[in-house]
Amino acid sequence: MSPSSHALPATPQPFWRQTYVQVLVAIALGALVGHYWPETGAALKPLGDAFIKLVKMVIAPVIFLTVVTGIAGMPHMKAVGRVVLKALAYFLVFSTLALIVGLVVANVVQPGAGLNMHIPTQTSAEVTVYAAKAHDISLVGFLLDIIPDTMLGAFTSGNILQVLLIAVLFGLSLTLAGERARPVVDFLDALTAPVFRLVHLLMKAAPFGAFGAIAFTIGCYGVGTLSNLLLLVATFYGTSLLFVVVILGSVARLTGFSIFRLLRYLKSELLLVLGTSSSEAALPSLMEKMERAGCDKSVVGLVVPTGYSFNLDGTNIYMTLAALFIAQATNTPLTLGEQIALLLVAMVSSKGAAGVTGAGFITLAATLSVVPSLPVAGMALILGVDRFMSECRSLTNFIGNAVATVVVARWEGALDRKALDEALANPPVPRDGQPLHVTQGKTP
């Protein structure tokens, strides 16, 4: 690893200038505005939307540069396939485990029991839209959609997996070209620095994005909507916390690090995800921080973007928990066979809707369709509080991908343990305007 960015000691910033403090204050202020001035809060939605669009604008170049330069530095092409296979195996195991956890908790806690809710006679327009999207989704269609219509089209489609595919193929091409491609590799490596500098400039707008997003959520939906379905929301948050602390925490301990130290290391990104309800808002920063924490650049570039589509632990917990909540709330008994069918369908639908806006609700619609006695219109029962659960879904997805990156890096022998221990023990505080990015070579 080349510690070029560590040449000068970082001067700690005053606490009020640190991003996580500013985002935390913005979340609190946004909640107050949304609660006391709901119309004003609802009108602030463009602030959150604008910030997320700014971040999405740089996601494609960040993924492309990280993956291409990482693969170009790999000594063997077999390593690329090995990393991808290990990552997909990890994703399959823990995504399925998340579905099972949601199913078990729903049966034990039974958050919908005794509510005796009636399904609306007319399905709301929003539920109809989600149901239509779920009907159009298939695993084959999803896989074909990974291939872009044109090479440049991948960068404008907003599909992370299309960018990843182009980056992997281009990185392999540079490796096969050998020394003749060295000027291109050097150029892309040099281009990485200003791109990450741009990411840090955009992150200065994070407090405004979090403020607008929270104000809109509280202003439109109101905290009062939580009262009727409080047990469902509390059960979902508790289950997600259990999954992170117990299951991911055990994986972290076996890998040789503390889940709590990792959460402290990523506190700025976690608050950003909480404020915007979007894990994509923190994707560039996550890639940068995982590389700084000793994970090889090629592993980070392959695991993180793939995980954003295939490793959705929070979404999977939500799907089985919400499906059984609707069954309990409407007094619709489900046999063990029907519950297993829900689980199997959810395993497929969670992949088919990956990267689609509103994926959580879309996959829920696809999952409910497997049991005829559970009408998709039942989703209207939780539509009001779904927004309050999206933050937890995004946080759990984000944490799951951070853990997965370290685990796969260790499996691949591409984890600098000293760098990981130092990063988690002493979370970096950058100097004003100084990116955290470091240029990292292949870990021996």
The model's pLDDT over 7-48, given as tens digits with 9 standing for 90+, comes to 344 455 666 667 767 888 888 888 898 888 988 888 888 888
The model's pLDDT over 229-258, given as tens digits with 9 standing for 90+, comes to 788 889 999 999 999 999 999 999 999 999
Domains by residue range for the chain, with CATH: 14-425 (1.10.3860.10)
Of 298, 402, 367, the C-alpha closest to 66 is: 298
pLDDT beneath 50, residues of the chain: 1-10, 121-123, 130-131, 134-135, 352-357, 431-435, 437-444
Which pLDDT score is estimated for 114?
A: 74
Which pLDDT score is estimated for 276?
A: 79
Which pLDDT score is estimated for 384?
A: 65
Report how far apart the first and last C-alpha atoms of the chain are (Å, whole number): 9
Which pLDDT score is estimated for 441?
A: 42
pTM of the model: 0.76
